[in-house]
């Protein structure tokens, strides 16, 4: 069974090393298309986590951001928040990438962390914080899920 290129699913538990490097799961590296050249763009998530985008997926986001007007305060804020902490990096022969200290602090990454496949990107989470976020999501009004179900077919 093969998956679509640049599509990430599943959850994996790992440990961060003393140099702030994390391992990209082999299954994720296997579905990364060659045109990415082993490159991810890493940035802050909207939740307290780290987002890793394959370069080709980030290019799509960047194109959308370029379409926003710098004359709009809201647009400037969205662009600033999306790219301020972003950086591009390639994983090494062992499949590791470096996470900046500011992203480690922001996401409260400790020795152990979780990597989640989120279809077009990867999320890196502190397990305790993800547990809290999951508990909060259970409080979402079921009507909101019903409204979304009209737009998405699972």
Q: Exposed, middle or buried, 21 (CB in 10 Å: 0-12/13-18/19+)? A: middle
Domain segments of the chain as ranges = 11-126
User: Structurally, what CATH architecture does the domain formed by 11-126 represent?
Assistant: 3-Layer(aba) Sandwich (3.40)
Tell me what pLDDT residue 137 has. Answer: 87
How far are the Cα atoms of 9, 24, 46, 125, 135 from residue 129, in angstroms, in the given order?
Answer: 20, 20, 13, 7, 10
Tell me what pLDDT residue 139 has. Answer: 84
pTM over 0.75: yes
How far are the Cα atoms of 15, 21, 99, 111 from residue 18, in angstroms, in the given order?
Answer: 10, 7, 11, 9
The better pLDDT of the pair 124, 144 is held by 124
Rounded to the nearest integer, the mean pLDDT of the chain is 93
Q: How confident is the model over 64-107, as pLDDT tens digits?
A: 999 999 999 999 999 999 999 999 999 999 999 999 999 999 99
């Amino acid at each position: 069974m093969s998956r679509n290129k640049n599509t990430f699913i599943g959850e994996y538990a790992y440990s961060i090393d003393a140099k702030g490097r994390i391992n990209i799961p082999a299954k994720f590296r296997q579905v990364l298309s060659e045109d990415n050249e082993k490159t991810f763009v890493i940035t802050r998530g909207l939740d307290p986590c780290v987002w890793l985008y394959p370069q080709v997926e980030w290019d799509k986001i960047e194109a959308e951001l370029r379409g926003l007007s710098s004359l709009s305060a809201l647009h400037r804020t969205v662009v600033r928040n999306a790219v301020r902490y972003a950086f591009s990096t390639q994983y090494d022969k062992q499949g590791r990438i470096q996470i900046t200290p500011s992203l480690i602090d922001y996401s409260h990454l400790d020795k152990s962390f979780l990597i989640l496949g989120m279809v077009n990107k990867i999320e890196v989470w502190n397990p305790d914080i993800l547990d809290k976020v999951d508990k909060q999501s259970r409080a979402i009004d079921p009507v909101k899920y019903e409204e979304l179900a009209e737009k998405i077919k699972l």
